[in-house]
Structure 1
Amino acid sequence: MDSRLIGVNQQFADIFQSDALYLSGKLLNNFSNIIYSHFIAAIEKFQDGEEQANFEFYSKGHFYLSYFKILHDIEQNINAVILICADVTRLKRREKVLILNNQKLHDHLFIDDLTGLPNKMAFDRFIQEKVVKNKQTLYAFMKIDLDHFKKFNQVHSYTYGDEILTEIGRLLNDELNADYAHIFRLNSASFVIVVQGMTPWAVLTLAERLKIKIMQENIVLDTLKNEILTASIGIYHLSAEQDHDILQQLDLAVRQAKAQGQNSIHVLST
């Protein structure tokens, strides 16, 4: 389709480092394949009944918006098309800043500052967006609570305790497959893992593996007693018929695990 420029101002010509007089009368596809492709797409929109069309393109370090509007003759046929190209580089930069600021806000709200893992707010949102709306999926919840971690902080300092929490968070995250498991840090010494689509036996096996991984780090809890850091794990399986408070159920499961002795696992009966 032929498309010839019948009038050009210098501001438009400057975009293409040219001269307005030179471009006047030129075919679009002879000087800009991008603008020509936009023109063809705009014509298709006009034929579908739209009166205007706009597209974005990038040229020589700048972002531009190409805007097309049709002019009709007295019989309402397309007589000409007005083309305006506007430099939107500043707007794009502001948009990028807004996106970055929104990401920072998201990180502040939903990411744990210490471990970099999703926090309790992220867990609550996950429950509402994934679990509540998809009750037919098989979900299991696992709460990993480090044994005697308050004592660990008192003996070794809270600074070292924070380092250990970061290390444990990284270890657990590395052991999980993001396709079926999601990890969250709830508070000082607790992590929650949401598992979907796994059998109860597979969930228990995963819990055993994570418990052993923590033990194998050989993090000293009490030198005099030759104790190392361990974790107790509570497991709760959610069914479509249940509407229990998940965190309350996990707290109960962990308490029952610790009642069996540290470094234990308890599956809450449903």
Structure 2
Amino acid sequence: MVLNKRRLLPILYISLALAISWVIVYTFRPNTVTVHLYYFPIILSAWFFKAPGGIISGLLSGFLAGPFMMLEVTENVNQLTVAWIIRLLFFSSLGAFVGLLFHRLQAHQINMIQQNERIIEQTNMANTDSLTSIPNRRKFDQVLQEIVGELSHKTTSLIILDIDHFKQFNDSFGHPKGDECLIEVAKTIQSTLKRPTDFFARYGGEEFVVILPNTDQKGALKIAESIRKKVAQLNIPNPNSRTKPFVTISLGAETFDKFSNFRKEEILNRADQALYLAKSRGRNQVVQLTSS
């Protein structure tokens, strides 16, 4: 049977520790200090192989210590045998106890890691839109609140976008195709945003939101226009749309900084007003409330 490579190295370490302990005990004769050296390979075995390893190492340590006990006990053979058995039992019991202790500690550590992973997974699920696999409105609210609370002199822009005449699309092709359309739009937004600090989410229904840190009005307009054009270039048919015979989007943008003195709700309201203007002006366009 070929030993697992991951187990071979610990076995070599344990064997080396046993050999060193044996040499030291042989050199300096058994006494209270030298005999305690056998604890090290026992603990090492218990660490790597838990209780079984601790017991085996304890038995080996007891056997290795046996020949030197004749130097400690010379009165009679019975006394020597009893002392040897006691030492075997003590070392093996020590190995079993330490091994079980390490097993409990490791099990507790694994349990804590699994609990943390479950918490992270549940948090991610709570913050992720199940259809598009992007952040949802709950996560967006958290991010926007953090940004508003930590604004420096840098400007931040918010874009709200809506798929034009999406109800007509669903009426024409059905909700499964509507879901596919939402997924494609989400992918297009994601491919347009280049910076790791840019954030976007599904706001609800056919609405999406984009947060652009350190982005002024001009930069926000450029990115919004890029998203609008890329969605149009998907050329997803929407024959009953009153805007174009393919899927288009309308976008409202708002730029703010710490001097704007806007609360989160006010920023959202202003971006939503810009989106309303984009729709009222014919859709398939970008409107910035700050420059409209």
**Under a length normalisation based on structure 1, what TM-score does the superposition of the two structures give?**
0.69
Do 1:146 and 1:189's aligned partners in 2 also have CA atoms closer than 8 Å? yes
- Gapped runs of 5+ residues in structure 2? 1-20, 22-33, 65-97
Of 230-239 and 149-158, more deviation after overlay is shown by: 149-158
Which has the higher relative contact order, 1 or 2, with Cα contacts under 8 A spaced 6 or more apart? Answer: 2
1:20 has 2:58 as partner: yes
1:8 to 34, 39, 43: 39
Indicate if the aligned counterparts of 1:220 and 1:227 stay in contact, CA closer than 8 A.
yes
- 1:16-165 → structure 2 map (5 Å cutoff): 17=53, 19-20=57-58, 86-87=102-103, 88-165=105-182
Which of 194, 201, 206 lines up with 1:177 in the alignment?
194
Q: Evaluate the alpha carbon distance shift between residue 186 and residue 223 of structure 1 in structure 2; reply closer, same or farther with a 3 A threshold.
A: closer
In 2, are the aligned partners of 1:234 and 1:254 still within 8 Å (CA)?
A: yes
Out of 230, 252, 262, the residue aligned to residue 243 of structure 1 is 262
Residue 285 of structure 2 is matched in structure 1 by: 264
In structure 2, give the amino acid aligned to 1:105.
Q
Q: Which amino acid aligns with 1:230?
A: T
Query: Deviations 1:164-217 (Å, cap 9, x if unpaired)?
Result: 101110111122124241111101111111001123212211111110000000
Q: Does the CA-based 8 Å contact 1:232-1:263 persist in structure 2?
A: yes
Question: 2:61 & 2:101 partners in 1: Cα distance?
Answer: 14
Matched length: 213
Residues 158, 209 of structure 2: 8 Å contact kept? yes
8 A Cα contact 2:168 2:240, kept in partner: no
Amino acid corresponding to residue 243 of structure 1 in structure 2 = F
More helix by share: 2
Shift of 1:267: 0.3
The alignment partner of 2:120 has SS state of helix
CA RMSD of aligned residues (A): 3.1
Retained in 1: the 8 A contact 2:156–2:256? Answer: yes
Q: Which amino acid aligns with 2:252?
A: G
Equivalent AA in structure 1 for residue 256 of structure 2: L
**Residue of 244, 250, 253 corresponding to 1:232:** 250
Aligned position for 2:95: none
Shift of 1:223: 6.4
Most deviating of 3-12 and 215-224: 3-12
Render the CA deviation track for 1:98-143: whole Å, top value 9, x for unaligned.
1231122112211011101111110111122233123433100011
Partners of 2:229 and 2:140 lie apart in 1 by: 25
Match of 2:78 in 1: none
Instruction: Give SS of 2:187's match.
Output: helix
1:217 pairs with 2:255: no
**Separation (CA, whole Å) in 2 of partners of 1:19 and 1:211:** 70
Normalised by the length of structure 2, the TM-score is: 0.64
Amino acid at match of 2:39: V
| Superposition deviation, residue 22 in structure 1 | 5.2
- For the pair shown, the structure with the greater C-alpha radius of gyration is 2
Q: Give the conservation status (yes or no) of the 8 Å contact 1:131–1:139.
A: no
Residue 34 (structure 1) aligns with = none
Match of 1:192, SS state, is strand
The residue type equivalent to 1:261 in the other structure is G
> Alpha-carbon deviation of 1:261?
0.7
Q: Matched residues in 2 for 1:243 and 1:262: separation?
A: 27
- Give the Å deviation of 1:8: 2.7
The equivalent residue for 1:253 is 274
Deviations along 1:57-86, whole A, 9 cap, x unmatched? xxxxxxxxxx9xxxxxxxxxxxxxxxx962
Identity %: 23
